[in-house]
Structures are given as structure tokens and as C-alpha cells.
């Protein structure tokens, strides 16, 4: 449905090393659903996408993290790739940005290694989540209940394991963003 997210503003937080398809496919799905989507990064012009361990395309950045105001967004997407979330965990402004969504009970969708950033923002304790299998121990140690399935949802949080899960992830993410509170001003 083309207008189910009309008026919704969604941030996609990423940096160099992002798994390209885990950024581009959710962005496409969100835009197709009518959302206004912005790629937010600690980089200013573009970020380096990856396809597994190999460099892929450069991806345009719409808004630098220092200019992005999380209160202007209704939801957040955290794509994976090993390098991307690990690098963002070391950027205090990125953790603060994510924490705004956690503390504000705004919807968040994270795939693959994306939940790593949520650990640092205090967003996993008590949540049922899935991720790339190597994050199972990290998420469990941070207080999450880890499950191995395509998509896990838990109170405005949608998580998935890998690129193969993108169709289910995108569908569930759009539904969660649609059901969430009124659009940001």
C-alpha cells in the first residue's frame, strides 16, 4: 500500500561498512510505503556499502549526524554489516541518537549486526530479539532473549537475522511503523 506510511519520517543510521542490501532494500520498501526516509551518518557525503566482505557501492548520506535531530523522526532503521554497527558503537553522538528512540519508545527496526548499536543505547534488556547468530551471546549478556527466526518483534522493536530475511523484515517493519504513534512534526 503506497500511502500507509505517508507523513512518517524515518531515519536510517549507518556508516562505512554497512551491508548495502540491508540499507537499500528497507529504504526502498519504506519509500514505496510513502515514508520520508533519510540516511543519517557520522560521515557527510557518502558511505561505503559492502556485500559481505567485499566493497560494493557508495551510498549517499542525506543528513549528517551532527545536524540530525532524532525528535524529527518517527522511527529508526539500523542496518547491519559487521563494520557498520561496530564503528557506530564508538561514536557517542550515534549512541545518543539511537537512545532517543529507545527512551522515547519510538519504533526501531534492526537487522543482522544492527542490534549491536542497541546494546550500547540500552535498548535490548528484556526484549525478545533475533540477529546474525554471532550476536546471540552479546545480546543475551545484555539482557535480551535471543531467538533464531526470520523476524522477532517486541514492543516497537523489529529484528531480523540476515539479507535472506529482508522480505519478512521489511513487511514487519512497515507494519510496526504504521501502527506506532502519530507522525513527528
Distance separating alpha carbons of residues 29 and 10, to the nearest angstrom: 12
The residue assigned the cell 546471540 is 136
3-state SS assignment for residue 86? helix
Q: In 62-176, where do the E strands start and end?
A: 63-64, 75-78, 108-111, 128-129, 145-146, 151-153, 157-160
Residue 113 designated active-site: yes
Provide the phi-psi class of 126: left if phi over 0, else alpha when psi is between -120 and 50, else beta. left
Q: What single string gives the DSSP state of each residue in 60-81? A: E-SEETTT--GGG-SEEEE---
Q: Which residue in the list 52, 53, 100, 113 is annotated as catalytic?
A: 113
Q: Which residue in the list 52, 53, 112, 181 is annotated as catalytic?
A: 112
Please tell me what DSSP assigns to residue 21: H
Active site residues: 112-113
Amino acid at each position: 500500500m503506497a500511502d500507509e506510511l505517508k507523513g512518517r519520517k524515518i531515519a536510517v543510521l549507518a556508516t562505512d561498512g554497512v551491508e548495502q542490501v540491508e540499507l537499500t532494500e528497507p529504504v526502498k520498501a519504506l519509500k514505496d510505503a510513502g515514508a520520508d526516509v533519510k540516511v543519517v551518518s557520522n560521515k557527510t557525503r557518502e558511505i561505503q556499502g559492502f556485500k559481505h566482505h567485499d566493497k560494493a557501492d557508495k551510498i549517499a548520506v542525506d543528513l549528517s549526524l551532527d545536524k540530525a535531530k532524532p525528535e524529527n523522526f518517527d522511527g529508526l532503521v539500523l542496518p547491519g554489516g559487521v563494520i557498520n554497527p561496530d564503528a557506530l558503537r564508538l561514536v557517542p553522538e550515534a549512541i545518543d541518537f539511537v537512545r532517543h528512540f529507545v527512551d522515547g519508545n519510538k519504533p526501531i527496526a534492526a537487522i543482522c549486526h544492527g542490534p549491536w548499536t542497541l546494546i550500547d543505547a540500552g535498548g535490548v534488556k528484556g526484549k525478545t530479539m533475533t540477529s546474525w547468530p554471532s550476536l546471540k551471546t552479546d545480546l543475551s549478556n545484555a539482557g535480551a532473549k535471543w531467538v533464531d527466526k526470520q523476524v522477532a518483534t517486541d514492543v516497537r522493536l523489529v529484528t531480523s537475522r540476515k539479507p535472506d530475511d529482508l522480505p519478512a523484515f521489511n513487511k514487519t517493519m512497515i507494519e510496526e511503523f504504521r501502527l506506532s504513534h502519530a507522525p513527528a512534526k
